Amino acid sequence: MEISLASLSDLTIKAVEETKAHKGKISSYQKPESRPRSALFHVKESVLTQGSNHFRTSLKGCWRRTEVITLEDESINGMEVLLGIFHDKPPDPGSISATDVWYTIQASHKYGFDPKDTKPTLWFDKWLSWATQNRGKEWKKDLKFISQLLFPCFYFDHAEGFQTITQRLVYNSPGRIGENNPVPSVAMHLPPILIRKSTLPAGLYKEISATLHGTIDDCTANGVCSYLKELQRIDVEPLGNTLFRNSVADILTRLDDFDRKNLIRNKHDPLMPCSWCSRSWTYLIESIQRRIRAYFDGLCLDCLRNHPDENSTYWDRELHREAYDGEWDSTCHISHGEPTWYFSFNRRRERNPYYESR
Ligand SMILES: [Zn+2]
Ligand SMILES: [Zn+2]
């Protein structure tokens, strides 16, 4: 394969693929037998030296004597995208899979290209639009696909994409929430972020928790028991593991089947119902559903970048309340409420070079 990226090319890059690294991790549009082992890219030296420290230093030194520079253990697709981006000739978005984007990041990091430059960020925005629009509305339901986009959105500083994807994963992932790395490299991953799904069980349990603090008469005892029984019937158990094994979205849908007729009530004087009996259960369940659906806006890249140990002002609760009138996103590129702000604060210290070098 030979690709010309500049009309007046003065340098040729030969990329040689590492077969072992690609074993079992082949890009979606390439068959093993048709995959080239190497490719020649005719490039402009000045473009590479402008965009990359690594190329600038190496072209002055050890590479100067050769006209063709051979780069070993590369992904052909990753190099094609990376060199194409900086020569304003990236391949058609339709030929690039999420896996190829990961290889592009790997090459970009290896050769010291800045992912926050205008060219790579604009390219990624265009590719992401294509990749998501091409799948229609269904892309948001494809958990494997969206979890593969998580790290690329982080790397290319795509705040809107990162927000949408983290929100989708929190609401739709059964069990643990995580990224999906389609390439063999273990070095590429997100900083550890902690997103808890505990809000829903807390909301469902709160109703009985408050009741248990008061007087327990026969009616309340029967009522609490039948409330738990009804939640169990629709497979939503606030005290069990159900909530952690299923997605929040599924649990919220199951709550549609909550039937207040199954709740036991004692025979009261109709004019003197107790506090348990006088609750509007339909309203209560609907308000829990509404509250949970609107709770989490997805994670914010700006908040994630400000580590509590390095920028305590950013995390000053009182300052946010007083100076910004409770606006938790006044210094961010995206709109979000307090839960997003809070979950960004609750993350572990990052030691990943893909994060700290930026
Ligand atoms: Zn009662
Ligand atoms: Zn923010």
Between CA 248 and CA 196 the distance in angstroms is 11
Q: Indicate whether 176 pLDDT > 80.
A: no
Ligand 1 centroid vs 281 CA: distance in angstroms? 13
The sign one gets for the Cα dihedral 44, 46, 50, 53 is positive
Residue 300 Cα to ligand 2 midpoint, Å, equals 5
DSSP annotation of 189? -
Instruction: Describe the chain by its helix, strand, coil percentages, rounded to 5.
Output: 50, 5, 40
List, in sequence order, every residue forming a beta bridge with 113; answer none if it has no partner. 52
pLDDT tens, position by position, 209-228: 777 777 777 888 888 889 88
Q: What is the pLDDT of residue 197?
A: 59
Q: Which ligand is nearest to the CA of 335?
A: 2
Mean pLDDT score, 83-96: 94
Ligand located closest to 223 CA = 1
Q: How far is the CA of 232 from the centre of ligand 1 (A)?
A: 22
210 CA to centre of ligand 1 in angstroms: 15
Tell the residue number behind the tokens 């927000």, with chain if given. 163
Q: What is the pLDDT of residue 349?
A: 54
Phi and psi at 3, nearest 5°, equal -125, 125
DSSP notation for 205-271: HHHHHHHHTS---HHHHHHHHHHHHHHHHTT--TTSSHHHHS-HHHHHHHGGG--GGGS------TT
Give residue 266 CA to ligand 1 midpoint distance, Å: 5
Residue 292 CA, chain-centre distance (Å), reads 19
Name residue 13's beta-bridge partners.
41, 69
| Residue 5 alpha carbon to ligand 2 centre in Å | 39
C-alpha of residue 341 to centroid of ligand 2, in Å:
6
Beta sheet of 2-4, edge-to-edge order: 2-4, 38-43, 11-17, 68-74
Distance 284 CA to ligand 1 centre (A): 17
Tell me the CA–centroid distance for residue 253 and ligand 1, in Å: 28
Q: How far is the CA of 205 from the centre of ligand 1 (A)?
A: 19
Give the closest ligand to the alpha carbon of residue 264.
1
Give distance in angstroms: CA of 189 to centre of ligand 2.
Answer: 21
Listing DSSP states for 84-124 in one string gives HHHTT-PPPGGG--HHHHHHHHHHHHHTTB-TTSHHHHHHH
Q: Which pLDDT tens digit goes with each residue over 221-251?
A: 888 889 889 988 998 876 667 767 888 888 8
Q: Which CATH superfamily is domain 2-134 in?
A: Potassium Channel Kv1.1; Chain A (3.30.710.10)
270 C-alpha vs ligand 1 centroid, how far in Å?
10
d(CA 208, ligand 1 centre) in Å:
14
pLDDT at residue 105, as a whole number: 94
How many angstroms does the Cα of residue 162 sit away from the middle of ligand 2?
12
| Residue 249 token pair | 């979205």
User: Which ligand approaches the C-alpha of residue 222 most closely?
Assistant: 1
| DSSP string over 32-74 | GGG--SEEEEEE-HHHHHHHBHHHHHHHHTTTTT-SEEEEEEE
Alpha-carbon Rg for the chain, nearest whole angstrom, is 27
Regarding beta strands 11-17 and 68-74, do their DSSP bridges make them parallel or antiparallel, or are they unpaired?
parallel
Inter-CA distances, 4 with 23, 30, 88, 231, Å:
28, 21, 12, 64
Residues 6+ apart with CB under 8 A from 244: 175, 197
Q: pLDDT per residue over 110-123, tens digit each?
A: 999 988 889 999 99
Q: Is the model's pLDDT at 28 over the cut of 70?
A: no
Q: Summarize the confidence of residues 190-210 as an average pLDDT.
A: 63
Domain ranges of the chain: 2-134, 143-195+296-356, 199-293
pLDDT at 207: 64
Mean pLDDT of 72-101: 93
Q: How many residues does the chain have?
A: 358
34-54 pLDDT tens trace: 555 889 999 999 999 998 988
Q: Rounded to the nearest whole angstrom, what is the distance from the C-alpha of residue 219 to the centroid of ligand 1?
A: 5
pLDDT value for 291: 84
Residue 357: pLDDT band (50, 70, 90) is: very low
Whether 195 and 284 have beta carbons less than 8 Å apart is answered as no
